[in-house]
Structures are given as C-alpha cells and as structure tokens.
C-alpha cells in the first residue's frame, strides 16, 4: 500500500492500486462466475491492495440456492425492502480475515446492529469510530482483537433488481493517507458487482433447473412412449432412436431401420405405425428373406385368377392388404433385383398391378424397411438398385446394438424372465450377481440372443434362484456349437458372391464351408448367405439337409 508523505504521489499510487484491484476482479469474473470463488478473492484483494480488512458479505437468509431465483425477474418498489414487517435475518456467507468460528457468530436479527440496519433501510452506513457507536455489536470479532487505533466500519447494501439482499462491509483504520470517500466509492462499485454476480448465478441456476426439468419431462415422455410401444430400456442411444421415430411419426416418407440382427427392428417398425395416424389401419409384416424368388411378385402384389397353375381365385397382395396402413419390409436387402424394380415403381407411383392382371390398383401405404446389411456397399456391388436405396433411405434410423446400451440389459432380462415364467408356469429368478454377469456379456446376437438365453435358462435350470456360476453354462461362448469341425481358412475357402446368383445345387457347399461362413459372420445367416452367393432361405435349407 502507498506510504509516501507527498499527497499527490500517494493519490497516484492509490489510483494504481484501485485499477489493479478492478483488473484482478474482472479477471476472476472472466474465469469463473461462482460467487464462492469470486467474492472471497475480491475481499482478499481489497484487504491486500486497499487495506480494508476483515471484509465480509452478509446475505439475507432468504437468499439461497433456490430462493434467489425468485429475484431474477422481480422488480418490487423500493419501499418494500424498507417495510419493517419485511426485515430479514441475515448471516455472513463470504469473508476474508475471519475464522470459521467468527463467521458463524456473524448472524443478525431483523434490523439488528449496523449490518441489520443497512439490510432493512437499503442505506449505506459509515461508522467513523466503532467504539463510539452503541449499535456496533462487534459480534464476529471482539474489540480486543482489533487494532488499538480508531477503527471505522463501512457497510454498503447489495441489491438485485432494486431489492436489498445483502451487505458488503469491512473494517478500516480511521487515520490513513487515503480519503474515506475513495474507499466508499470503490466499495460501492464492488457491491454493485457482487449483486450482479449473485443475480447472474440466480439466472443461470434458474435456466439450468428449467432445462433439467424439461429434459426430465422429455425423458419421461420417451420412456412412456417406449412402454406404450413395448420397447424396454431407457439408455440414451435407445431414447435417441425413439426420439427420431416420434419426430417422423406423422410423415409419409419411407423409413429405413438400420442395425445389427436382433436389435428389435420389427418392434420399432410397429412403433412407427402405432405412433402415426395410421395406427387403426393394417400393419403388414413381410420377411423378404423367407419368400422364394419365384413367389415374390405374387406375394407382394397379388395375382388374378388363372395367372398360374393353381390360381383358382384372385388374391390381393401384401401391398393391397396394407392400404392406408403400413407395410414392413424386413431384410429388404434379400429382395431379388427384378423385384426391386417393381417395388420402386410401386413406391414412386403408388399403384400395384397383380400378377396376370392389367389394371393398376391405387394403394396408399407407408413403407418401413429394415436391414442389417450395408446397402450402400450392396449398391456399389450391383446387387441393390441405387434408385431404390435412395427411395427407401429418406428417413434412416439406426437402432443401437445391445453392447451400446448395457444399462438396459437388466430390465430386458427381467422382462424376458417374467414373460417366459408366465408362459411355462415356472418361478425362476436371477440373483444380483447373475444379472451383473448378463450385463458383462458382449451379446453379439443382441436382444434376440438375450431372450433366447433367458428362455433356455428357464426351461433347463433346476434352480429357482440362478446364480452367476450356473448362468455361465447357458451363455454362448466363442467356441459355439457351430464349431463341430474346425477347418482352417487355408483348407476351406468361402466363395465370393457373384453379382447375379447362379443356380446352385443343394450339394453345392459342404458342412465345413457352411460352418465357416456362419462363424466368420457371427452366426448371422443373412450375411453368411450373402458371402456364399446364396439367399438366407437357401442357406437355411442346406443346413437342415446336412442335419445342422
């Protein structure tokens, strides 16, 4: 602090100290808006740079983390704060130069002492000599612990939206080479800054709580929607997919569900239907991998009487049956190229022509397609039409794998357990360590694999309470049952799929080749079949013929 005798030099140095103080306080505000950080350090700086000691900020007891938010938009008249019936109690919240015990003693009743009067009247009070002021309580620090010189006390109101919420106060040695008015002026600036900082904290807290409340409402809404559609889980990836589904529910554009096998595409497709205005109309499921190539057209578009041998009467195809509703084309990547062309025409024109017929039938159908294949790669390889891909990929929704939502495994396991118990009249339970074991499993087969494990466990276990040790024998391992024979990659080669599938005899592949393809594709029949140049139906038929 300046100590020079020359008043002009001293005044210049005091101005430099004031500028340094304000600069440091602004730097603090730039780094943090937390009052507990900024205000305490501000009190430290006024002690070190200006010699104003034992600074404290006293706040009314109604000013809390939640209560202050009510002042953010409130603008009461000035007389309200001075209403005698509205005088608040108060306490020291931030201080420098006071011990915790001294701060704890700093509690004031309504209009009690100098601090209480400032809070009640909204007027600053300057006590020139605390020994000569009977209302000075010396509550926090007793007089014998202060300097023997004449000590002054400065107390200024802190306001938020014209209402006094606190007091900035400090001790000052009366006899100094610095004007008292200069100290009061700088303290007024800091009191204003403290009020603005507290108000800003209140606004941020209020907005944060509003956003948190809104997020909770949205999460609960999504959880309710998930429960309504029969979708189990509350993990962020699942709720994200469900949120996208809800946003496009009223549209008519095609939806393409992407994701690994077993992630619940059919359930999501039904959710798209149930969340739309078509919910009371038909929902038709079509598994493209299960339809023989020769029957695709008649199944999708129907046929007229006499269209082929055995067509004794006309039949409406799946598209006609789904009119005004939703059609779900599962495993769309398995559709033959010839049928892809006819499907594209139906999507573009909204009409179908039955097999053997000449009349166009208008249909208003929303298409939801699903695949676990990389259709863009199929487009590059020439086995999926580019224009059909763009037509289907208007609204892509990716369904997360079970590995991406481990927090949902417990809820899913208990859901499957309850369902299988009811169906089979069993009473099997899972211990906490068994549920933890399920959460640690990688689940390459996703939800379908989890459901199968739970069903197998309920049917085969002899225990009513399954422990983790017993659960292990029901979990699939890397050395799965597919590995009856262990051929090497060098000894058995898997043929690459041709652009157009040639006719293949039932004996076209050995059991070892089929097993290797299944193993390399994680047990996924569709991908294994694609790699071998077969349809999933052809692969399944060969496996059954070979006794697998």
Q: How far is CA 31 from CA 24, 25, 26, 37, 38, in A?
A: 11, 10, 9, 10, 9
Dmax over Cα atoms in the chain, in whole Å?
A: 120
Point out which residues pair with 95 in neighbouring strands.
56
Least confident of 28-32, 91-95, 216-220, 253-257: 216-220
pLDDT at 29: 85
Residue 216: per-residue pLDDT: 75
Q: Which residues contact 140 (CB under 8 A, 6 or more apart)?
A: 54, 56, 92, 98, 102, 103, 105, 106
CA–CA separation, 459 vs 454, rounded Å?
Answer: 9
Tell me if 24 is assigned to some domain: yes
The answer to which of 35-49, 94-108, 127-141, 209-223 has the lowest mean pLDDT is: 209-223
pLDDT confidence of residue 231: 86
Same-domain status, 339 and 430: no
Same domain, 291 and 366: yes
Q: Is the pLDDT of residue 484 over 50?
A: no
Q: Given a cut of 80, is residue 251 above it in pLDDT?
A: yes
Q: Are residues 421 and 387 in the same domain?
A: no
Residues of the chain with pLDDT > 90, as a percent, come to: 55
If we measure between CA atoms, which residue out of 147, 102, 145, 115 comes closest to residue 129?
147
What is the arithmetic mean of pLDDT over 116-130?
93
Q: Are residues 354 and 260 in the same domain?
A: yes
pLDDT over 50 at 344, yes or no? yes
> What band does 67 get if pLDDT is binned at 50, 70 and 90?
very low
Check which CATH number belongs to the domain holding 283 and give it: 3.40.50.300
Does 222 reside within a domain?
A: no
Domain that holds residue 530: 484-548
Question: Helices marked H in 265-364 — which ranges?
Answer: 265-274, 296-301, 318-321, 337-349
Tell me if 230 is assigned to some domain: no
pLDDT class of 478 with cuts at 50, 70, 90 = low
Res. 57 pLDDT band, cuts 50 70 90: very high
pLDDT on residue 512:
77
Quick one: pLDDT band at residue 502, thresholds 50, 70, 90? very low
Backbone angles phi, psi at 228, to 5 degrees: -65, -35
CATH of the domain at 415: 1.10.8.60
Q: What is the pLDDT, as a whole number, of residue 207?
A: 85
Does residue 540 surpass a pLDDT of 50? yes
pLDDT at 463 over 50: yes
Report helix, strand or coil for 378: helix
The pLDDT value given to residue 249? 84
Residue 226: inside a domain: no
Q: Is residue 231 part of a domain?
A: no
How do residues 184-216 score in pLDDT, each as one tens digit?
A: 999 999 999 999 988 888 888 888 888 888 777
**Mean per-residue pLDDT, 151-175:** 92
Domain match, 384 and 319 both: yes
Give residue-wise pLDDT tens across range 267-308: 999 999 998 999 999 999 999 988 988 889 999 999 998 888
Does 508 score more than 80 pLDDT?
no
How many domains is the chain partitioned into structurally? 4
| pLDDT exceeds cutoff 50 at 332 | yes
Tell which of 424, 447, 474 closes a domain: 474
The answer on pLDDT for 66 being more than 50 is no
Q: Residue holding tokens 């007091």?
A: 167
> 410 and 277, same structural domain?
no
Cβ neighbour number for residue 232 with a 10 Å cutoff: 18
Question: What's the confidence (pLDDT) of residue 7?
Answer: 66
Q: Which has more pLDDT, 439 or 81?
A: 439
Burial of 202 by CB count in 10 Å (0-12 exposed, 13-18 middle, 19+ buried)?
Answer: buried
- Does residue 225 sit within a domain? no
Is the same domain home to 249 and 153?
A: no
**343 and 424 both lie in a single domain:** no
Q: Identify whether residues 20 and 166 lie together within a single domain.
A: yes
Give the whole-angstrom CA distance, residue 255 versus residue 269.
Answer: 9
- The H-or-E segment that residue 158 falls in is strand 151-160
In this structure, the answer to whether residues 429 and 510 fall within a common structural domain is: no
Q: Are residues 366 and 435 in the same domain?
A: no
Would you give the DSSP letter of residue 132? G
Mean pLDDT score of the chain: 84
Partners of 230 in the β-ladder: none
Domain end, chosen from 398, 433, 462, is at: 398
Model confidence, pTM:
0.53
Kindly state whether residues 412 and 367 are assigned to the same domain.
no
Q: How far apart are CA 287 and CA 334, in angstroms?
A: 9
Predicted confidence at residue 312, as pLDDT, reads 87
Complete DSSP assignment for 106-157: -EE-TT-HHHHHHHHH---EEES-GGG-TT----SS-GGGS-SS-EEEEEEE
Give the end of a domain, one of 339, 369, 398: 398
Does 213 fall in a domain? Answer: no
Contact 420, 261 (CB under 8 A): no
Condensed to tens digits (0 to 9), the pLDDT of residues 392-446 reads: 999 999 999 999 999 999 999 999 999 999 999 999 999 999 999 999 999 999 9
In this structure, what CATH number is given to the domain that contains residue 543?
1.10.10
Whether residue 214 lies inside any domain: the answer is no
């Amino acid at each position: 602090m300046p100590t020079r005798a020359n008043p002009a030099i001293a005044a210049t140095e005091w101005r430099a100290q004031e500028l340094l103080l304000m600069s440091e306080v602004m730097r603090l505000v730039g780094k943090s808006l937390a009052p507990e950080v900024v205000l305490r350090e501000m009190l430290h700086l006024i002690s070190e740079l200006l010699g104003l000691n034992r600074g404290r900020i006293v706040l009314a007891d109604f000013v809390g983390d939640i209560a202050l938010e009510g002042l953010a938009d409130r603008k009461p008249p000035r007389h309200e704060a001075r209403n005698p019936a509205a005088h608040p109690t108060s306490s020291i919240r931030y201080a420098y130069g006071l011990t915790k015990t001294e701060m704890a003693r700093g509690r004031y009743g309504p209009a009690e002492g100098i601090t209480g009067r400032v809070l009640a009247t909204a007027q600053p009070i300057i006590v020139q000599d605390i020994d000569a002021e009977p209302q000075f309580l010396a509550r926090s620090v007793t007089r014998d612990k202060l300097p023997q010189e004449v000590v002054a006390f400065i107390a200024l109101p802190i306001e938020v939206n014209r209402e006094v919420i606190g007091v900035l106060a400090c001790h000052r040695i009366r006899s100094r080479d610095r004007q008292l008015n200069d100290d009061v002026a700088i303290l007024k600036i800091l009191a204003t800054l403290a009020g603005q900082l507290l108000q800003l904290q209140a606004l941020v807290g209020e907005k944060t709580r509003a956003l948190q409340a809104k997020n909770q409402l949205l999460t609960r809404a999504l959880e309710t929607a998930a429960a309504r559609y029969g979708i189990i889980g509350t993990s962020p990836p699942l709720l994200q997919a469900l949120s996208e589904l809800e946003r496009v529910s009223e549209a008519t554009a095609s939806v393409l569900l992407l994701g690994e096998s077993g992630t619940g595409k059919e359930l999501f497709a039904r959710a798209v239907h149930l969340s739309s205005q078509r919910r009371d109309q038909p929902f038709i499921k079509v598994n493209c991998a299960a339809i023989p190539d020769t029957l695709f057209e008649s199944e999708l578009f129907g046929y007229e009487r006499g269209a082929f041998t055995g067509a004794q009467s006309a039949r409406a195809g799946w598209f006609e049956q789904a009119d005004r509703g939703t059609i779900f084309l599962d495993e769309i990547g398995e559709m033959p190229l010839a049928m892809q062309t006819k499907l594209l025409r139906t999507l573009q024109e909204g009409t179908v022509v039955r097999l053997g017929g000449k009349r166009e039938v208008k249909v208003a159908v929303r298409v939801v397609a699903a695949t676990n294949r990389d259709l863009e790669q199929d487009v590059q390889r020439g086995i999926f039409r580019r224009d059909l891909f763009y037509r289907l990929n208007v609204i892509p929704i990716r369904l997360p794998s079970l590995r991406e939502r481990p927090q949902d495994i417990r809820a899913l396991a208990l859901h499957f357990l309850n369902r299988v118990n009811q169906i089979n009249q069993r009473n099997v339970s899972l211990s906490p360590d068994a549920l933890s074991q399920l959460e640690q499993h990688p689940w390459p087969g996703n939800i379908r694999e989890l459901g199968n494990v739970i069903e197998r466990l309920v049917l085969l276990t002899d225990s009513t309470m399954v422990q983790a040790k017993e659960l292990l024998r029901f979990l699939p391992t890397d050395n799965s049952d597919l590995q009856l024979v262990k051929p090497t990659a060098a000894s058995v080669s898997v043929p690459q799929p041709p652009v157009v599938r040639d006719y293949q005899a039932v004996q076209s592949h050995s059991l070892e080749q089929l097993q290797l393809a299944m193993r390399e594709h994680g047990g996924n029949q569709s991908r294994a079949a694609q790699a071998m140049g077969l349809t999933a139906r052809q692969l399944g038929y060969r496996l059954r013929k070979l006794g697998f």
